[in-house]
């Protein structure tokens, strides 16, 4: 079952704007990861943040984690048309080994 909820479900912005996606989860976690999926393709790992971390950066990506609120956000700055994709958060729990539980995803469209 999906424990993560993401909002918004869909987001449409113009090139150059920033995109923010949010993810909430229900149980305690070991880590939270963000993935990207282009239509009809497999998932590509973007960034992993551990439960004892609050913020992480990778290029134009910034991820925050608030374990007290059981939520995370992914910020993509200076978006490009090539960023158009579905974005999923996934949580890894201590009791589940390496198994990931995925959120519902956000469909991001960046218009040129």
Residue ranges that bind other proteins, judged by CB under 8 A: 2, 30-31, 33, 35, 40-45, 48, 88, 90, 92, 97-105, 107
CB of 64 to other proteins, least distance (A): 18
Nearer to other proteins, 90 or 108 (CB): 90
DSSP 3-state of 5 = strand
Smallest Cα–Cα separation from 92: which of 82, 105, 103? Answer: 103
Q: 81: alpha, beta or left, given left = phi > 0 and alpha = psi -120 to 50?
A: alpha
Nearer to other proteins, 48 or 61 (CB): 48
């Amino acid at each position: 079952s999906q424990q993560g909820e993401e909002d918004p479900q869909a987001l449409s912005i113009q090139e150059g704007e920033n995109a923010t996606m949010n993810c909430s989860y229900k149980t305690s976690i070991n880590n939270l990861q963000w993935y990207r999926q282009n239509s009809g393709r497999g998932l590509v790992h973007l960034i992993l943040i551990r439960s004892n971390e609050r913020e992480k950066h990778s290029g134009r990506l910034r991820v925050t984690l608030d374990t007290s609120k059981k939520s995370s956000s992914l910020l993509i700055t200076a978006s490009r048309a090539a960023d158009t994709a579905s974005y999923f958060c996934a949580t890894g729990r201590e009791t589940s080994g390496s198994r990931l539980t995925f959120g519902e995803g956000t469909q991001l469209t960046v218009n040129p």
